[in-house]
Amino acid sequence: DAMVIQNPRYQVTQFGKPVTLSCSQTLNHNVMYWYQQKSSQAPKLLFHYYDKDFNNEADTPDNFQSRRPNTSFCFLDIRSPGLGDAAMYLCATSRDGRVDTEAFFGQGTRLTVV
Amino acid sequence: AQKITQTQPGMFVQEKEAVTLDCTYDTSDQSYGLFWYKQPSSGEMIFLIYQGSYDEQNATEGRYSLNFQKARKSANLVISASQLGDSAMYFCAMKNNFNKFYFGSGTKLNVKP
Substitution target in A49, A55, A100, A109 with the highest count of B β-carbons within 10 Å is A100
Asked if A1 is an interface residue toward chain B (Cβ–Cβ < 8 A), one would say no
pLDDT score at B97: 84
Separation CA A5–CA B70 (nearest Å): 36
Q: In chain B, which residue's Cα lies nearest the Cα of A94?
A: B99
Residues in B 53-92 with any Cβ partner in A closer than 8 A? 53, 91
Separation CA A97–CA B37 (nearest Å): 19
Neighbouring CB atoms inside 10 A of A77's CB total 13
Asked if B103 is an interface residue toward chain A (Cβ–Cβ < 8 A), one would say yes
Shortest distance between the Cα of B45 and any Cα of chain A, in A, equals: 6
The amino acid at A73: F
pLDDT score at B1: 62
Asked if B27 is an interface residue toward chain A (Cβ–Cβ < 8 A), one would say no
Asked if A105 is an interface residue toward chain B (Cβ–Cβ < 8 A), one would say yes
How many secondary structure helices (H) and strands (E) does chain A include?
A: 0, 11
pLDDT score at A40: 81
pLDDT score at A1: 66
Confidence of residue A97 (pLDDT cuts 50, 70, 90): confident
Contacts of residue B101, defined as CB under 8 A and 6 or more positions apart, other chains included, come to A33, A45, A92, A94, A103, B35, B93, B94, B95
Q: What is the pLDDT of residues A46-95, one digit of tens each?
A: 999 999 999 999 999 999 999 999 999 999 999 999 999 999 999 999 99
Asked if B102's CB is within 8 angstroms of A45's CB, the reply is: yes
Q: In chain B, which residue's Cα lies nearest the Cα of A48?
A: B100
Task: Spell out, as residue ranges, where chain B has pLDDT lower than 50.
Answer: none
Confidence of residue A2 (pLDDT cuts 50, 70, 90): low
The amino acid at A105: F
Range A16-37 average pLDDT: 96
Backbone φ and ψ of B86, nearest 5°: -80, -10
Q: Give the mean pLDDT of chain A.
A: 94
Separation CA B83–CA A85 (nearest Å): 35
